[in-house]
Amino acid sequence: MITFFQQSVTKTSYRGAFTLVEVLVVMGLLTLLAGGIYHFFTSVGQTQKVLSQQLVLQMESRKALDQVINRIQEGSEVVRPFTGETQSFLVLKDIVNRLSMLYLEPNNKISQQLQKPVYRLVAYTTDYTGSFNKQNQKVLVDLVRRITFTSLSPNTVQINATIINENREYQFITHVGLMNLGGLEQ
Amino acid sequence: MTRKRKKGFSLVEVMIGVAIFATVGVAFLSFLSQSIGESKFSAEYFSAFILSQKVMEDFSEEIAINPYGFETLGVDENSTQYSEVVDGATVHFSGLEDQQKPYGKIDPGADNTINAKVVPLYEIVKKFQFRAQAKRLEKTGDGEKRNLLRCNLEFLWDAKIGKGQYETSCSFFSPVTAKKIDLALNVDQAAIDARIPKDFFNAPGKSLAQIANERSSTVETVTALGRIALVTEDFMKSQYYTKQMKAIADLKKKLALIPASQFDQEYAVRLAIALAWYDLAKACYQIVVYLEPCFATLQSQNVSALQTGTNTLNPIQLQEALFHYRIIYEYFVGSIVQARFYYYALIEKDLALYKGGKRELQVLQKLIDLYRIVALLASVPTGMDQYKAFLGRLDTFADGRNLYLQRMVRQEMIYLQDPAVWMEKFPNLKRISSIVKARIPQILAFIKARTDDAVLNADNSY
């Protein structure tokens, strides 16, 4: 009996559950593993989120860039800034001698959301009435953090722009040639 | 014991489970990693595209003002060097903004290269390098393809996945061949030749061969002399010449009456005068060039024979014929210089401001052409010095304001160090030079000698 009990106890102790230490070690390891996995997935998720934001921002920047380029290419001559000068606005003359202005307006709503100054890039083309006409005004880009126009020749404009989106910023530089109207009349 | 075995997993089961989990996990991680890499690559590719647009526009502007723009930038078909986009390693990404004093003047070295302070652009583009190659579709000759340049642009970057490479190409028109012009189209040569016996030799009804025979000369000689006499005389008496001179005189009177504040009128009239002089210069030059082979014939023949024999040529008539040519050449020189003067007036500060930078640049390009022609004229010995001084002023004007123009001016100064190289670069100038620099002094010397002879011979006969 004793022998049997001893045998039984001995067998139970070998086949039984884990000791407290073992359980604690395993739990510790599992916690570390779970923490690692959680951290990894969070990090991957964050990276993916950042990248998708970046891609969306790039797409928006591309759209903005196209809008600005198309508008500038309608011009035939850079009036302001003068060559060699940088300004945050642009004045162009077009083929029928109308003036177009590209300038920044505060985007207050987004500025409050992002807690930093954000602007809209607005284009206005004068007509011959001599008074302001709302229809001639168009917002080209909504989320401009910063933009400058530099004139390196009367036929081209260099743009340095930063577009913002949910606190991410994308900056690009580009060079836009104006409409070519040929040479001096001769 | 049997029950106990069923409760747990065997080592093999656990290992298989772990292996499956690991495989799925690795596949998932790989997918995620691939996805992240693709997103990054897409972002980088977009940035390369934007940068390439900037460089191509730069090239376009460079070529618009300087047919040897690629050469000036050191870009050819053998360019192997890759340049960094950041830290001012290349002119394309320097001088981005006018950020430092003196404002209104960009210093490519100091004014905002893409350095670490330019955020977030620096982080976006710092890994990019690029290389441009350009080649003419034909290296030599004067075919149309020689005026076309093919430019390839390649951006490289260290991409985590895929090949970090973006390539694009573009064709540019950059004329370096001589213009295709047939000056003789403006002269009805057959009609002129038909008039020679009656109108110049006073021998109506006779053929040129008979006239030549009577004067112990050749048909070529009498034809050449007749053409010189009639074409120059016709021009001097033409309505075009008379009207043009009157138009210039009237415009000058009008200019004198325009108030100083009327920039639009002043600009228009000055330009009209410049155009009138330039047009007259072109007409005179056409005659000078058209008749040049006639002088070659006279120089190779014994023109003095025309003063001997039974039907001698009136020496005054010969003198007139040759002198008219000289006068027309002098008109050409004078008209070009006058055109240059009036074009130059268009870049006077107030007028240039009124008309804007684009027109100012066009006038400057026109002035470069005119200064080049004057620099070739043997009768304006200071012409080359005047041109070099003008280039010096242009260099100062363009400094920090128009970097394309400045590069073109400096390249021109290098070409001018060796006139032979300069001529090779500009075949139109070479063609003008072959007349006004090489032939005209000979022709003028010939005219002087022949007219002196004619007068002396006439004196002896009296």
pLDDT of residue B454: 58
Residue A16 confidence (pLDDT) above 80: no
pLDDT tens per residue, range B80-132: 889 999 988 888 988 788 888 888 888 776 667 888 888 889 998 999 999 99
Query: Is the per-residue pLDDT at A4 higher than 60?
Result: no
- The residue with greater pLDDT, B251 or A55, is B251
Estimate the crossing angle of helix B440-461 against helix B315-345, to 10 degrees. Answer: 150
Q: Residue A40 pLDDT > 90, yes or no?
A: no
Q: DSSP states of A46-112 as a string?
A: HHHHHHHHHHHHHHHHHHHHHHHHHHHHTEEEEEESPBT-EES-EEEEETTS-EEEEEEEE-HHHHH
pLDDT in tens, B8-29: 777 788 788 888 888 888 888 8
Contact between chains at A172 and B65 (C-beta distance less than 8 A): no
User: Which residues are bridge partners to B23 per DSSP?
Assistant: none
- A77 CB within 8 Å of a chain B CB: yes
A181 contacts: CB under 8 Å, gap ≥ 6: A76, A95
- pLDDT confidence of residue B293: 93
pTM listed for this prediction? 0.84
Size of interface A-B (CB pairs under 8 A): 134
Report percent pLDDT > 70 for chain B: 92
pLDDT confidence of residue B7: 64
Of B53, B93, B120, the CB nearest to A169: B120
Residue of B nearest to A49 (CA): B36
Contacts of A76 in chain B (CB under 8 A): 358
Q: How would you label B72-106 residue by residue, b for 16+ Cβ within 10 Å and e otherwise? A: bbebeeebeeebbbbebbbbbbbbbbbeeeeeeeb
What does the pLDDT average to over B198-208?
89
A186 vs chain B: nearest CA distance in angstroms? 6
pLDDT tens-digit readout, B395-405:
999 998 899 99
Taking the Cβ of residue A186 and every Cβ of chain B, the question of whether any pair is shorter than 8 Å is answered with yes
Q: Is the ipTM of this complex over 0.90?
A: no
Question: In the structure encoding, which two tokens stand for residue B423, read together?
Answer: 């001529």
Domains of chain B: which residue ranges?
34-173, 189-460
**What is the structure's pLDDT at B31?**
82
Asked whether the beta carbons of residue A47 and residue B404 sit closer than 8 angstroms, the reply is no
Chain A residue with Cα closest to B364? A184
Alpha-carbon distance B285 to nearest alpha carbon in chain A (angstroms): 17
Helix then strand then coil, % of chain A, to nearest 5: 40, 35, 25
Confidence of residue A1 (pLDDT cuts 50, 70, 90): very low
Is A51 in Cβ contact with B36 (below 8 Å)?
yes
How far out from the chain centre does Cα B331 lie? 25
pLDDT, tens digit (0-9, with 9 covering 90-100), for B217-262: 889 988 998 999 999 999 999 999 999 999 999 999 999 999 988 9
Whole-number pLDDT of residue B459: 44
| pLDDT score of A181 more than 80 | no
Structure tokens at A33: 């593993």
**Distance in Å, alpha carbon of A85 to nearest chain B alpha carbon:** 4
CB contact under 8 A, A175 and B4: no
Residues 6+ apart with CB under 8 A from B253: none
Q: What is the pLDDT of residue B461?
A: 37
Chain B within 8 Å of A91 (Cβ-Cβ)?
no
* Band of residue B203 on the pLDDT scale cut at 50, 70, 90: confident
Minimum CA–CA partner of B112 in chain A? A160
B75 touches chain A (CB under 8 A): no
Segment among A8-17, A118-127, B30-39, B292-301 with least mean pLDDT: A8-17
Helix (H, G, I), strand (E, B) or coil at A158: strand
Task: Identify the pLDDT of residue B462.
Answer: 32
How are strands ordered across the β-sheet holding B148-156? B83-84, B129-136, B148-156, B165-173
Q: Which two tokens stand for residue A104?
A: 């920044």
Rounded percentage of chain A residues whose pLDDT exceeds 70: 87
Q: Give yes or no for residue A12 having a pLDDT over 60.
A: no
Nearest to B325 by CA among B447, B455, B237: B447
Range A83-109 average pLDDT = 92
Cβ atoms A85, B98 nearer than 8 A: yes
Interface of B with A in 30-69 (CB under 8 A): 32, 35-36, 39-40, 42-43, 46-47, 50-51, 53-54, 57-58, 60-61, 64-65
Share of chain B above pLDDT 90, in %: 56
Residue of B96, B278, B360 with shortest CB distance to A158: B96
More confident residue, A8 or B325: B325
Q: What is the pLDDT of residue B460?
A: 42
What tokens appear for B159 in the block? 């991409």
Q: Which of A181, A180, A177 is nearest to A70 (CA)?
A: A177
Half-sphere exposure of B174 (CA within 13 A, CB side): 27
> B7 at the A interface (CB within 8 A)?
no
Smallest Cβ–Cβ distance between B58 and the set A151, A172, A175 belongs to A175
Q: Is B272 on the interface with A (CB under 8 A)?
A: no
| pLDDT, average across residues A153-172 | 88
pLDDT digits (tens, 9 = 90+) for B17-60: 888 888 888 888 888 778 878 878 888 898 999 999 999 999 99
The answer to whether B278 contacts chain A (CB < 8 Å) is yes
Interface check for B85 against chain A (CB to CB < 8 A): the answer is no
| pLDDT at position A183 | 56
Q: How confident is the model at residue A46 (pLDDT cuts 50, 70, 90)?
A: confident
- Write down the pLDDT at residue B453: 63
Q: What is the pLDDT of residues A126-161, one digit of tens each?
A: 988 888 899 999 999 999 999 999 998 888 999 999
What residue in B sits closest to A40 (Cα-Cα)?
B29
Which of B18, B97, B160, B340 would you mutate first to test chain A, the one with the most A CBs within 10 A?
B97
Calculate how close chain A gets to B286, using CA atoms only, in Å.
Answer: 17
* CA–CA separation, A112 and B334 (whole Å): 69
